[in-house]
Every structure is written in structure tokens, then in C-alpha cells.
A and B are shown apart, each in its own frame.
Chain A
Amino acid sequence: MDRKISLKLNGRLRTVTTDPDRPLLEVLREDLHLTGTKYGCGEGECRACTVLVNGESTPSCLTSIGNVDKQTVLTIEGLANGDRLHPVQEAFLAEGAFQCGYCTSGMIMGVAGVMKQNPAAGEAEYRAELEKHICRCGGYPKYATIVRRLAGMPRAEKAHV
């Protein structure tokens, strides 16, 4: 049975009328044409589909659209401030921390979630998040560099994002 679902998506109020059981991932991609969030496994194991729900890193393949009714969702498309990249995006770009790039959106969102939740987060927190993500290209050595870079970044640079 279709239902009207409203959410704050990338800073804008969006309403969709659909089956509430559909995965958030699918509605983002198929109804809202936000294809930056990727399908990798459908079981929350690879985290390519990571978005922030109320600021928290969440696998959108295991989250139904009904569950985010009246909630706040941020996807990779809403992370940059216009042309100004988010510091996590900047870090991935500066380090060239991607190969095929299919897992990158999910990783960036997961790490951005850690930063938003706790601007004082250190290497352990960033690492814990990235340990949930699969990069089949094996780009991990660069992610280890990202962890160090973000942990060492002045707090002021992270606070106003």
C-alpha cells in the first residue's frame, strides 16, 4: 500500500508517495534520481550505500523509506557546500583515495558522519567506520592515510561543516 512519506533530504523537504517497505537506497536512486548512493550487497556488509540519517552513518539498503518519514537524510549529493567540497571529500580527492570509485560515496558519507557526530574524533573512530566498508579494488592503504589526515585536521576546519 503506497503511503505519503516526507523527509528532509539534502536540506530540502521532499515528499514521495510509495510503498513504505521499499529500501531507502532504491527510492533515492529510482524515484529521486540520486544515484551517487550505490548498491553493493543489499545486506549492509559493504556499506557502499551509506547515507546519513539524522547525522548517523546508515546503510540505506537495509533502511526502508517508511523508516525515514519525517527524518533528515543526507546523501553524497548534498554533502558539498555548492562548489566547496566537504573536508572529507577534499581529503579523498587530494589523496586520490579511489580506484573504480564505486565504494567512495559510501566511505565519504560514513567518515563525514563520524566527523559530524564528533568533531574531536580521532584515528580510532575514523578507522572503526572505515573497517565497515568494502573496497574490492584494495585501496585501503590510502584510506589509512585519510584516517590520519582527518584525525590531524584542526578542529575548526571540521566544526563549521
Chain B
Amino acid sequence: MTTASSVKTAPSSDDLLDAQPLEFMGYDFGLSRRAFVKTLGAGLLIAVSPRALSQSQETGQRSRNTFLGTGAQNLAARIHLGDDGTITVLAGKVEAGQGARAELLQAAAEELGVPVSRVQMILADTGMVPDDGMTAGSGTTPRTVPAVRRGAAAARNLLIAFACGQWKVEQTAVEMRDGRVVHPASRRSCGYADLARNAASLKLFDQAIPSDVTLTPVNEWKVMGTPLPRPTGRAIVTGTNAYPSDIARPGMLYGKILRPPAYNAKLLSIDLTPARAMADVVAVQDNQFVGVAAPSSFRAERALDAISATAKWEMGPPQPSSAQLFDYLKQNAEGGLPQNPFANELAGAKSLRRTYRVPYIQHAPLEPRAAVAEWKDGRLTVWTGSQNPFGIRSELARAFRMSEDQVRVIIPDFGAAFGGKHTGEYAVEAARLARGAGRPVWLRWTREEEFTWAYFRPAGVIEAEASLDAHGRIATWHFININSGPNAVDTPYSIGKTDCRFVRSTPPLRHGSYRGLAATANNFAREAFMDELAAAAGADPLAFRRSHLQNPRLRAVLDTAASQFQWEERVRKTDANTAIGLACGTEKGSYVAACVEVELDREQHAFKVRRVSEAFECGAIVNPANLLAQVQGAIIMGLGAALREEVQFENGKILNASFGEYRVPRLEDVPELDIDLVNRPDLPSAGAGETPIIAIAPAIANAVFRATGASVQGLPVRI
């Protein structure tokens, strides 16, 4: 859809996911090199300039490895067989509520030919599992599920080969039945425990997993494709599922970190004596890093309050505030704002120009960042909630100048992330306190810390300009995302000439990944702009999209959602207080469309979303129950961004750092949902944790635009 005349600079999304800039604005979490000289003693230090270190961390190669991981080096790294019949499958992915544990279990059981109850799944313990990369970018389903399937299929093939070798029969004469190889003719059978007892066969587990091992075709799936419930369900409803913040170690202390009063504030001096005077309290300072640890959180808090009262700060220079955010981002666009290369074609044509604004929002997972760190014999173990177990291990190894094999990171199933838990500041903080205290230390950020010191979903400005030809079709399309990212910046519509780009800016807040990343911003802007262009062309939004859509998968979800919602019947009805809108989009190999019904209260400048019909397609469905939960959750999270979510800040301070002031969706906000999960067993499975979020906000914006005629160019949507 991009012509030769178009200018394209946006790289593909996967490569950029991890390379997405994480700007550390003034606050370095005490991690400067100089600080570590003090911690470890200059004599132990190998001179490496901070510049060289950070450069090596930022190379594309490194990002790619961190993101994708190395995978299992051999079959033994993926599957352990016990001679008592136990089967343990290992994977480097994490479970944060998105359902990876169930799907990976299904993948293993399917190919091993055993019931799921036979398989023990170990996730994200760097001391045990292969590096499957980050749990991000909807990567578990398209990459780790197949990796686990290949390992399991290879193990099953070894079992079959072993049994046939023992029995001296052809492989065509045996079959898999209930987790055993059966030779019906002689009524013999052989299971994984038999294989595990054979030393020569086990030796074969040292070999690499063949990449061309045959996997079970979708039409023969018995375990995959079924709605397997969460394996930890009972532990969750009885309160016994141990989250990172529930981990306790013998002799453990509870930690608290001193936070600056604003971004860029510098600690000039502090007196630790009041904390050290308290019984059993340890206070640790290392340049800008100050923390305390005590036998209870309460006492740690008191100790922190006592020393915090003595702290002297130098405030940084004035910083931009949310009120000037969008002007600031535009003014700081790298290389200036790109001109529309099709500007000379606009004369005489019907054209439209809009500026869309998407604010910072916070992931706000219900379990705040938490870590327990324990040092023993020069080795460090950290239990923490993170999407990046091996990356956190590297971060810890770098911070404490250890080799990676001296650090073990264990990620218990944790309380959600949404792209917000890629970095390991809190793991490093807990480890620094534990080192200072000489005892294991538990650290859990408060909700205020979470809202202030965790990175944000990037804010962005999107400049869009397009022209229509005489037939009301889009002739030229110029679409520039400033600051928030390149994901889904390209249009999926068939347009003559396009120029879609991402331009970096200087973000005033520290930003990073998010559910769907910049696809949330880019799809909002594009789909809102499409409705304005449809209006300019005098066309119905559905018909206008159809006339520009060739992609059959995107067309299919759009048609499914529209027909479910009865779009064509509803556009003919007029009701002053009811509005309808639709939007669609694609990202990371999956496709979504949503239609919404919104009830307006014009006098109060308020609206309520009454109904959402969403169709979503991600290839062959691995677990329909989990997929439904992901789609529901993404719609509701997208609703939050459309209705209210917006981080407000002023001169280095967050003004709404609490659930009281930053309202996330609640039960009362939830509309009627009609969700159509379009199954395509003929297509490879794509991930589903992100893309279902991207259609909801623009559909709401389009409903409001349709009803009021007033252009909606910002989130949250206001009327």
C-alpha cells in the first residue's frame, strides 16, 4: 500500500519493542557508576566508562537477544523426564494473568500425547529454564508455544523410537494412547518413565531440538484449541497463590526507598542517625540511593520518615507540565516536524488536517512492583514480578558487577504488567538493601511510587493530513507520530500515496512499553481521521473503510463486528442521545474491529458506553476461554484510556498519583459486550494480549463525532 513516492522510516514493530527508548529523566535510581565504586570499593572495580556500558546495552543486537532470547539449547533444557513418570516442561515466559501458563501447558501436553495433569510447568526461573526472551509483544503464542511444541514433539518421537527399538517393530505399527506408546498387535506399551530409565535414550536429550519436527495439525488437536482453565485457579480463590510480594525468607527485613520530592531533584545531604537509632533498623546510603530496612514495613516507614525530614534537596530546573505537554513534544520533535511530501497535490483537492493528542497513562497493575532479594555465599537470588526475567538477571549482574551465573531471578506468577514491568529498578533496589543489611530484604512499591516512578505509556502527538480525489477516495495520506512510537503507524488501507513516520521527541516523563504500545495512539488517530474523511466524502464510515480495504482478514473482522452490531440498520435510526461509532485495526498479526453504542448527556458534557461489539481474529485459537478473557480485558483497559485515564503533572511532580485521583475502569463502567472470536484454524496462531485494545477508543471517539459533529482529536474523549 506504500507507493514509490512514499517516505517510510518506521521499522517493524518487533525490532523496536525492546529498543523503544526508556528515558531516565534525571532520576537514575542511584545506579550511576560512581555510586557503585562506593558500594563495592574502588579496589574491586574494573574501569569501564558508563558511556561504553550504556552504549553496549543499546545496540540492536543486544535488544534483539533480550527480546527473543536464545531458546532451549537442547531438548534437556526444555523437558525433564523423571523415572517415576513425572514430566517437567520448562519455559522462560512469565504468567502475569495473560494465560501463558495454561497455553504452554496445552502446547506441551498436546505434543507429548499426555493429559495436562501429567505435566508440571516451570516458568521463568533463570536457574532452571531456557531463555525464551521477554514476555512481551504478544510473543508467547506465536513463538514460545511452537518452541514448546517442538520440544515436546521431539520427546514423543524419542519415546516412539525407543519403544519400536525395544520391540523391533516398525513405527507404523505403534500408536500413542493416553501418554504411552502402544503396540496393539502384541499388546505391549511403553511410557515416558521407561524412556527416562534408559540411559542411552536420555543421552539423546542433549541434542538440539530439530527445527523440522512434525507438529500435530490443528484438525487433530485434542488439548490445544480447548478452553483449559487456569491451572492455578484453586490457589487463587483460596489466597494461597504466592505472588512476588508474598514471598518471605528467613530473617527477612522490609525495605523502603527514599524518593526525591520531584523528578530531577538532587539529594544534597541527609542524616541517617534517626533511623539507625531505631531498634533493628538498617539504613543504607550510596550517593543518591537511600533506603531503610526493618523487621516490619511500619517501622521501615517510620525510619524513612525520620531521615527524610533531615534531607536537603536541590530542585532541578523548571520542567514541562501536562498543560504544555503537546506543544512541548512538537517543539522538540527530532529534526523538526516533517513536511507533507504531497503538499503540492493538495491544491484544488478536498483535504483535511488534524492534530491528535494522546496523554501519558499508567499501567497501574494491581500488584505494584515488588522484589525479595537474598545474598548467600556471594550469590544473589531475587524473586520479583517482571516480564523480563533474563533481562533483569543481566541488570542485576551489571549493577553488582557479577557474572550472570551468580544471579538467579525467579518470577512467581504475578499481579499483572500490561507492558509496564520490563525493567528491574526495584529488583536492584531490594538487592542493594539486602546487601547493606546482610539479610534478605522485601521491597514493594507503594501505589504512589508506582504512579510516580514506574515508566509511563508514552504521550504522543499525531499530525495527520489527507486529500480526497474526485471519487471521494483518499488520494494522499501524511501521518506523523511524534514521540509515542512506530507501532501500527502504517495504514492498513489501500491509499495511493502514503507517508507514515515516527519521529522521536524529548519526553518529559520516563516512558516505555504498554499494552499494544503506540498502536493504541496510532490506531486512535488513524481511525478518528478516517471518520472525518468519510464525513468529508459524504460516505458512511463502514462503507468508506470497505472501499479502502483490501486486506481480507481486516475486512472480515470489520464485517463480522458490523453485522453483529447491525450497523447498517442502526445508521438509519436517529436518536439524539444515542450515538454509534466503529473502528478497526491490525497489529502483530491479529485483526480487530469494534462497534460501540454511546449514550450522550449533552447538558452534562458526559457520555456512557452502553454496548461494544468487537470481532477479533488471531489465527488458530489456542485457548478460547483465555482468549475471551484477554479480549474482554483489553476492551476494558482501552475503555479506561478513552474515558478518563490521563497522568497530570507539573514541574516534575505527578498530581494524580492514586486510584482516587486516577480513575481506572470499574464494574459500573462496563458496557454490554458482544465478542466474536473469529477462529482461523488454517492460519498460524498470533498473540492476543494487545491488539484487541486498539479499536475501542477510536470507536468511542467516532460515535461522539458522529453525534455532535465536533471533531474528537484527543484522549480521553471529551464532549
Contact = CB atoms under 8 A, between A and B. Distances in A.
Contact of A41 (B243, B248, B297, B659): B659
A88 B96 CA distance: 23
Interface in B347-366: 364-366
B662 to A, nearest CB: 10
A101 B297 contact: no
B658 interface: yes
Contacts, number: 164
Contacts of B366: 38, 40, 46, 48, 100, 102-103, 134-137
A157 interface: no
Interface in A28-67: 29-31, 33-43, 45-46, 48
B633 A99 contact: yes
Of B96, B239, B296, most A-chain CB atoms within 10 Å: B239
Given A131-B667, A136-B365, A93 B234 contact: yes
Contacts of A138: 632-637, 665
B658 A96 contact: no
Contacts of B447: 40-43
A35 B237 contact: no
A99 B98 CA distance: 7
Contacts of B236: 92, 98, 101, 104
B298 interface: yes
B239 A76 contact: yes
A133 B254 CA distance: 27
A9 interface: no
A43 B658 contact: yes
Contacts of A48: 366
A26 B296 contact: yes
Nearest to B637: A138
B660 A140 contact: no
A7 interface: no
Interface stretch (B225-233, B465-473, B482-490): B225-233
A99 B629 contact: yes
B239 A105 contact: yes
A140 B666 CA distance: 8
A87 B531 CA distance: 48
Contacts of A154: none
Given A31-B296, A102-B366, A140-B670, A92 B444 contact: no
Contacts of A136: 364-366, 416, 418, 637, 664
A18 B99 CA distance: 40
Contacts of B239: 34-37, 75-77, 105
A9 B238 CA distance: 16
Interface in A78-119: 79-80, 85, 89, 92-93, 96, 98-105, 108
A93 B237 contact: yes
B14 interface: no
B298 A141 contact: no
B668 A98 contact: no
Interface residues of B, number: 55
B550 interface: no
Of A29, A38, A100, A142, most B-chain CB atoms within 10 Å: A100
Nearest to A19: B298
Of B248, B364, B366, most A-chain CB atoms within 10 Å: B366
A43 B659 contact: yes
A137 B691 CA distance: 15
A40 B448 CA distance: 10
A77 B238 contact: yes
A68 to B, nearest CB: 15
B97 A100 contact: yes
Contacts of A26: 296-298
A158 interface: no
Contacts of A35: 239, 242-243, 245-246, 248
B670 A102 contact: no
A30 B237 contact: no
Interface in B625-670: 625, 629, 632-637, 658-660, 664-668, 670
Contacts of A85: 237-238
Interface string A133-161: 11111111111100000000000000000
15 contacts: A35-B239, A36-B239, A38-B367, A40-B447, A75-B239, A85-B238, A89-B237, A96-B625, A100-B97, A101-B413, A102-B416, A104-B236, A135-B366, A137-B633, A139-B629
Interface of A: 18-19, 21-23, 26, 29-31, 33-43, 45-46, 48, 75-77, 79-80, 85, 89, 92-93, 96, 98-105, 108, 127, 130-131, 133-144
